[in-house]
Structure 1
Amino acid sequence: MSGPQCCSNPPTLNPNAGAGHVEQLGGLSTYVSGSPNSKLAILLISDVFGYEAPKLRKLADKVAAAGFFVVVPDFFNGDPFVPDDANRPVQVWLKDHGTDKGFEEAKPVIEAVKSKGVSAVGAAGFCWGGMVSVKLASSTDLHAAVLLHPGWITEDQINDVKVPIAILGAENDDISPPEQLKQFGEKLSAKSEFDSFVKIFPGVAHGWTVRYNAEDESAVKSAEEAHLDMLNWFTKYVK
């Protein structure tokens, strides 16, 4: 995720945002929302700005209101990317926070959720989190996955997917270009053993689902449409 798109429109982080609370889960500080008695859980994996982004937590609350137990771990351990830090550009930051590490750290979180009595888990990832989610989708840990404007994912990773997966992309995205996502969709649709879905949203750019301008009616509408697509996917397959 180099280039300006991954790091544009940084959110103003707020540790107190959201209707849920933070607790330790699987060794990570985790924002938790929804009924802990739900048998269905959704793991939301943030972009480089981390789990204190208010719009991400608001989305977690929205998913929780649909009946899911939602967990948003702090995979960066209090060290989200800071665009203003000239000494630590995103390429340097990523050396400390690689997606392989995120994948490994997600497993104990999923196990911890299952130990609470959860019987089905879905995961949605945004940018950095999309790269973690596609790795998780190659395992049997998940029932379904959604990638929203993912970072760089590869054809090999798409070939390894084993669960129903939806990919929501932006028309203006040089990190996950629409042409590439459509090719991934063709590969996925050739797999008859699970469902897949690729949708490109017109007029939006990378990051639009969690870094939209709340004053821009069109931007809000596109983000909410993507949120609904994500929620519908989970309602269909995480059960």
Structure 2
Amino acid sequence: MSLCKDCVSGVTHDGTPSGTWVEIGGVNSYVATPTVDYRKDKVVLFLTDVFGAQLPNARLLADDFARNGFRTIIPDYLNGDAVDAGALNPGSTFDLGKWIAKHGSNETRPPLDKVIAALKEEGVTAFGATGYCFGGRYVFDLAYDGVIKAAATSHPSLLQIPADLEKYADTSKVPLLLNTCTIDVQFPLEAQAKADEILGDGKFAPGYRREYFEGCVHGFAVRGDLSDPKVKAGKEGAFKSTVEWFLKYL
């Protein structure tokens, strides 16, 4: 399995993140906390793309989830080695293949498990997970293991199709939302159709929904160029559908 050029394409979004960095279970994590009263026993885990929470886009999105009433945590499951934002620059020679070879599940899953265990110790009993690109792989894995109560992913990467979809149908009881788009090497139109075939039309009893955003490219929900009206609508639509999903199932 590998990533694609669109996994390191996109733009940095404007804004000033308002959350804080804290150690949770020994793992550096960005925490966005609602300013209104919220359920302390629920948390949304925000599983980033390869740029991690160091890219402000992810932190700004986490802040948006907090504004909708969800305490949202971005664990640094990339172990302080997120891809630098410079890889987004035209002409970048960043070697994505070399990077991903150092960030397999043996390296990246343990930090997630530490954060989840520590949050459980604090009294958190229900987790939702939203994953973007690289993070989509871990949404599926956490759903397989029954760790989360609600799953959402936008343009997921590193899935094996149809194997992961079939495994989800056979082993998971976690409602699944997929935010998809027109141009996506990692989760192309054929994979989207296969997801509908396997999970749609009520076949997956816990709950399944797929949103499709025309004219958008892999990465649109977190790194899209917001000067493009279709991309802006796609990013906002994916966020809205994810919030609605968590309101319904988390």
Using structure 2 for the length normalisation, give the TM-score.
Answer: 0.86
Q: Are positions 1:157 and 2:164 aligned together?
A: yes
Structure 1 position 199 matched with structure 2 position 201: no
> Which of 171, 174, 183 is residue 185 of structure 2 equivalent to?
174
> 2:231 aligned with 1:224, yes or no?
no
Partners of 2:175 and 2:249 within 8 A in 1? yes
Question: Any stretches of 5+ residues in structure 2 without a counterpart?
Answer: none
Structure 1's 101 and 184: CA in aligned 2 closer, same or farther, altered over 3 A?
Answer: farther
Change (3 A) 1:25 1:134: same
Q: Distance in 1 between matches of 2:143 and 2:208?
A: 12
Q: Which residue identity lines up with residue 159 of structure 1 in the other structure?
A: E
Q: How many percent of aligned residue pairs carry the same amino acid?
A: 29
Cα drift, residue 216 of structure 1: 3.2
Is the contact between residue 103 and residue 135 of structure 1 (CA under 8 Å) also seen in structure 2? no
Q: Which range moves more in the overlay, 24-33 or 154-163?
A: 154-163
Does the C-alpha gap of structure 1 residues 214 and 192 become closer, same or farther in structure 2, counting only changes over 3 Å? closer
Q: Secondary structure at the match of 1:96?
A: coil
TM-score of the aligned structures, taking structure 1 as reference length = 0.89
Is the CA contact (8 Å cut-off) linking 2:11 and 2:224 kept in structure 1?
Answer: no
| 1:119 Cα deviation after fit | 2.1
User: Would the aligned equivalents of 2:27 and 2:114 in 1 still touch at CA under 8 Å?
Assistant: no
Deviation at 1:40, TM superposition (A): 1.4
2:72 pairs with 70, 73, 81, which one?
A: 70
Q: Which amino acid aligns with 1:198?
A: R
How is 1:24-35 mapped onto 2 (pairs within 5 angstroms)? 24-35=23-34
Distance 1:100 1:168 in 2: 27
Distance 2:106 2:248 in 1: 28
Which of 171, 184, 187 is matched with 2:198 structurally? Answer: 187
1:17 shift after superposition: 4.5
Contact 1:103 1:136 in 2 (8 A): no
Q: Which residue of 2 aligns with 1:143?
A: 149
- Of 40, 43, 56, which residue of structure 2 is paired with 1:41? 43
Structure 1, unmatched stretches of 5+, are none
Residues 126 and 148 of structure 2 are in contact (CA less than 8 Å); yes or no, is this contact kept in structure 1?
A: yes
